[in-house]
Amino acid sequence: MASPEILNKAAASFAFETSSLEFISNSTNEVFRFTKKDEAYILRITEKSHAYVGKIKAEVDWVNYLVQNGVRASLPIRTIDNQLTALYQEDGKCFIATAFHMASGRFFDKNEPKLWGTSIFKQWGEIMGKMHMLSKSYIPLETKRDEWRNSEIKNPHLQGKYYALLEKLKSLETRIMNLPREGDSYGLIHNDFHPYNFHIDGELITVFDFDDSIYGWFSLDIAIAATHAVWWGAPMDDRQSKNEFTTKFLNEFLEGYFKYNHLSDYWIKQIPFFMDYRNICSFFWWLSSWDGDESKFSDFQRSAIAYAVKLIETGQSFDGCEIVLD
């Protein structure tokens, strides 16, 4: 946790009053809202080693480039000494501060037509297509964002049914590692462009939270969007409805995407596979460091694990992934 002293330093760096700070969340980073001259901003505090500073600089430089070239994204703001990051040391720990304009609007609502549906899906696709197009021309800083790599999960508690999940993850990652990494299909991607990482304001979408950005496959980026659209936006929970929704979503999303970027038929056909991968990855957000105590799982988690194992044992993909794209 960032101490009051760290927050005071951040306020001085970005020239705002600490009294305006409002805590938002604390997961990978500590996130706050603040105001300056009646405008809202986001402050992000990241506790990492000093060696990680370059990675964050690479992230905000990328976002800055996107905004300069017409992508609606939360623009980073500079410190009083014209830097995009500020670095503080305290008790042997390193804290990296970044700040962004707060995106106007609100999150999606699948029950509100203006906040979920064809126009949103197409614009979502347009933004991602433009981002992938710009990825091809972007010249990165000396320190680049990481490349995609396979997971390194060595939890000894993953036995029995949990081992089935791990084996599924490993088998998909083995296939992914053998995929070509070509300029027309691979580049700097958001890697987490889901519905809670953009705001909708009227007919406009603004994307944010680029801290998971990596060099990866454009099809993977699309698949991540589609997977989360199914999780949170499908009208019904049965498998058939989710598959039908996925087909509709991707047809409309890709219509927008193709306005700015082209993918070959081969890479379009990989999207359901990458969706399957994103689904299996979701279990390891909480299984990778699990201590073996099943009582710590929620009813939802127990049910999700049982269903996933059943799908794996019967050779089926996850809901929404059982589609064929032409």
C-alpha to C-alpha distance for 50 and 58, rounded to whole angstroms: 14
Indicate the pLDDT class of residue 2, thresholds 50, 70 and 90: confident
pLDDT at 326 over 80: no
Boundaries of every domain in the chain: 4-101, 113-313
pLDDT, position 180: 96
In this prediction, residue 307 carries a pLDDT of: 96
Residue 256's pLDDT band (cuts 50, 70, 90): very high
For the chain, helix, strand, coil in percent to 5 are: 45, 15, 35
Token duo for residue 68:
């300069």
Nearest to 97 by CA among 174, 196, 14: 14
Strands 214-217 and 198-201, bridge-based pairing: unpaired
Q: What is the mean pLDDT of residues 44-60?
A: 94
> pLDDT-based confidence at 324, cuts 50/70/90?
confident
CATH H-level superfamily of 113-313:
Aminoglycoside phosphotransferase (APH), C-terminal lobe (3.90.1200.10)
Taking alpha carbons only, the member of 25, 100, 15 closest to residue 66 is: 100
pLDDT at 51: 87
* Cα separation, 16 vs 79, whole angstroms: 10
Average pLDDT over residues 80-90: 95
Can you tell me the mean pLDDT for 159-166?
A: 95
* β strands within the chain, DSSP E: 22-26, 30-36, 39-47, 86-90, 93-101, 186-189, 198-201, 204-207, 214-217
Q: Which residue has the tokens 């499908």?
A: 234
Q: State pTM to two decimals.
A: 0.96
pLDDT band at 102 (very low <50, low <70, confident <90, very high): very high
For residue 68, the model assigns a pLDDT of 96
How confident is the model over 210-252, as pLDDT tens digits? 999 999 999 999 999 999 999 999 999 999 999 999 999 999 9
| Helices 299-313, 271-287: inter-axial angle, 10-degree rounding | 140
List pLDDT tens digits, range 110-160: 999 999 999 999 999 999 999 999 999 999 999 999 999 999 999 999 999
Residue 28 has pLDDT above 90, yes or no: no
Q: Mean pLDDT, the chain, as a whole number? A: 96
Query: CATH number of the domain at 4-101, please?
Result: 3.30.200.20
Mean pLDDT along residues 174-178: 97
Neighbours of 27 (CB within 10 A): 6
pLDDT tens-digit readout, 259-314: 999 999 999 999 999 999 999 999 999 999 999 999 999 999 999 999 999 999 99
d(CA 63, CA 73): 7
Q: What strands lie across the sheet with 39-47, from one edge to the other?
A: 22-26, 30-36, 39-47, 93-101, 86-90
Q: What percent of the chain has pLDDT over 90?
A: 96
| Other CB atoms within 10 Å distance of the CB of residue 5 | 11
